[in-house]
Amino acid sequence: MGDKRRLPQPIRSSAGEISRLKGLDRDIPVTEVLTLDEHHLPNWRDDAEFSDMIQTLIAAMPLAKKSNLKVRSLKQILALTGGVTSRIFSLVKDLSIDAIVTGQECITDDAVAKWTPVWSRHANTQRRLEKARA
Q: How many CB atoms lie within 10 A of CB 124?
A: 11
* Separation in Å, CA 57 to CA 77, 94, 107: 13, 12, 12
Three-class SS of residue 88?
Answer: helix
The whole-number pLDDT of residue 119 equals: 65
pLDDT in tens, 30-87: 555 555 566 788 999 999 999 999 999 999 999 999 999 999 999 999 999 999 998 9
What domains are there in the chain, each with its CATH number?
A: 1-39 (no CATH), 48-133 (1.10.8.60)
Report whether 20 contacts 29 (CB < 8 A). yes
Report whether 41 contacts 85 (CB < 8 A). yes
Which helix (H) or strand (E) is 27 found in, with range? Answer: strand 27-29
Cβ contacts of 104 within 8 Å, gap of 6 or more: 65, 98, 111
* Low-confidence winner among 4-13, 25-34, 42-51 (lowest mean pLDDT): 4-13
Asked if residue 111 has pLDDT above 70, the reply is yes
HEC sequence for 98-130: HHHHHCCCCCCHHHHHHCCCHHHHHHHHHHHHH
Is-above-0.75 flag for pTM? no
